Structure 1
Amino acid sequence: MTFLRFILLSALFLPAAVSATTIDVKFNQAAHSVKAEINLSPAVSLDFSIGFGNAVGLTPQNFTINAELISLTDPRIVNRLPDSLLTSLPSAFPVLISVEPDPARGFAFSGTADIELYTKTLHYTEGTPLRLFHAHGNESFQDITTMTGAGSYRVRGSGGQFSDFVVLVDLRSNLTVINEKVTQLQSFTSSVQQQLSYDAELQLTTLVQDIADAVAQSQLVQASTAVNELIRVLELDDGVLYPDVWRSSDDVINVRGRLLSISRTLRYSLRIH
């Protein structure tokens, strides 16, 4: 028996590799928050947390967090990237995180869900292209980043709904990202304005148009001022003019939460431009 054949035959009888995946999820109902300590391999681990202004039914029976290592060419990700050439999974951190509230149970939250991901697997450097992206259902992934920082890599974002989260390397120009986020803001505003009162619709469309006009004219300081004003209005509203509830049955639109999420990540992109 040749040495090579011996190696090949021996490999058939090697024990299967033991999975290193562990996910320890802790719920803090008093603080309306949940944190997951996730170990996917000896080389890949992370902390993932979500905080809510207010949440109902935040229990292990109603709300699960899953994570997995995936292929860099996984079609679940690649087919939903904003740009298949300029956005990609980092080879050291090909992680898909899925937040899955049970649609048959009573989980709900109001306002935004504030998300933080921390990992020692990646390392922060000034000007890093690493960003936090989110996709709801089978929709395309969208940048929701509101902060990036050291330790070794920490990123924050916010959202008004759930499903999948990934960290991506985003090599698009920042101006391209800004324009895309403005388009998202305009598109979402257009889709929900009929649900609003006349006063709320007028206020929202005026503020969003101010942002779009400033960006179109490359007046980014003015755009930042307009975005801050929109965020201020939405934060003060507290669900009075703009509906702000999301529930696991996914039958209502969290208007205020979604608007805040898009506005905050747009503010981040304007700040780093």
Structure 2
Amino acid sequence: MYASKTLLKVAVLWLGFSLSSYSTFANAVEVPLTINSQQNNLTASVELSTLVGFDLSVQFENTVGLTPQNMLVEASLLNLADPDILHRLPDSLLTTIPQAFPVLISIRPDPEKGFSFSGVYTIELYTKSLHYTEGTPLRLFHSHQNGTFEDITTMTGSGSYRVRGNGGQFSDFIILADLRDGSTIIQSKLTRLENIANESQSQLSAGAFQVLSDSINAVGSAINSGNKGQALAAIESLIHLLEADNGAVYPDVWRSSNDLDNVRGNLISAATTLRFSLRIE
């Protein structure tokens, strides 16, 4: 059924909830990790305390070097007042760590072991520590190299709480309650999409960048004019454009050495989470 099994190293950080203690790992535990290199996925079940646990799955399009020796995943129970986390939140007042699930998950493949993937990965978290309700503000956020956390949610669901997202690069993941209004969230995701495209211009041909830029401009124009239907049609067209490419036009490889930009993967991630927000707005 599965190709190989090993242990996922989970460093558990119990900081209580005081201002005086943070940044020391303690009570490190190891939990079973299942890796199926043929199916390009990994899964794990993690229990950080009697009240906090989760199931994790990561599905890749294609991988090289997906082995137990190459993957390091850490999970931490956070201090809700930890300034090292709070300063990375997109809004210090309206995005908050849920008390029932103060968990940081870090996925850091060994930079010297040659792991790489192409396209996007899909990450899903399931936890009984949180409960899904219609209209829940709980979302999955990602931060690359200690940067600001960004919403990558593409699905939320029940049982008890399940959330899915995708991405083109790794580092830290966290579930946050996002109480910002919908238009603010949509504009922030549109800006992220535009920024990824602009920062990737030097890696694209002039024609490829023009097509990408025109597609994103069509999304932005529809959003800014308040035409939700047109915005959804434009974002679907953009996603189709990116998914149809195999890396020939838009570079789509990420390596653990962190020396390549996964342009296609990052663009798909930004576009699909924007589509999610447009659909629920």
With the length of structure 1 as denominator, give the TM-score of the two structures: 0.92
After TM superposition, the structure 1 = structure 2 runs for residues 16-165 of structure 1, keeping only pairs within 5 Å, are 19=27, 21-165=29-173
Q: CA deviation at 1:22?
A: 4.6
- Quick one: distance in 1 between partners of 2:102 and 2:193? 28
Q: CA deviation at 1:84?
A: 0.3
1:21/1:39 contact within 8 Å kept:
no
Please state if 1:237 is matched with 2:242: no
How many residue pairs end up in the alignment? 256
Q: What CA RMSD, in Å, does the superposition of the two structures yield over aligned residues?
A: 1.2
Q: CA deviation at 1:221?
A: 1.4
Please state if 1:247 is matched with 2:258: no
1:20/1:39 contact within 8 Å kept:
no
Q: CA deviation at 1:63?
A: 0.8
For 2:118, give the aligned amino acid. S
Please state if 1:173 is matched with 2:181: yes
Question: Alpha-carbon deviations, 1:75-113, whole Å to 9, x = none?
Answer: 232010000000010000000000011111100000001
For 1:146, give the aligned amino acid. T
Matched with 1:4 is none
1:22/1:40 contact within 8 Å kept:
no
For 1:175, give the aligned amino acid. S
| Structure 1 residues 252 and 121: CA distance shift in structure 2, 3 A | same
Matched with 2:217 is 209
- Quick one: distance in 1 between partners of 2:84 and 2:62? 31
Gaps of 5+ in 1: 1-17
Higher Cα radius of gyration: 1
- Quick one: distance in 2 between partners of 1:52 and 1:249? 18
Indicate the structure with greater helix content: 1
- Quick one: distance in 1 between partners of 2:235 and 2:84? 32
Gaps of 5+ in 2: 1-25
Matched with 1:200 is 208
Identity %, equivalent residues: 54
Q: CA deviation at 1:126?
A: 0.2
Matched with 2:6 is none
For 1:164, give the aligned amino acid. D
For 2:144, give the aligned amino acid. H
Matched with 2:264 is 256
Equivalent position SS for 1:36? strand
Select between 20-29 and 56-65 the one with higher mean Cα deviation. 20-29
Equivalent position SS for 1:61? helix
For 2:156, give the aligned amino acid. T
1:20/1:40 contact within 8 Å kept:
no
- Quick one: distance in 1 between partners of 2:108 and 2:27? 22
Q: CA deviation at 1:23?
A: 2.5
Select between 200-209 and 69-78 the one with higher mean Cα deviation. 69-78
Q: CA deviation at 1:72?
A: 0.7
Q: CA deviation at 1:216?
A: 1.2
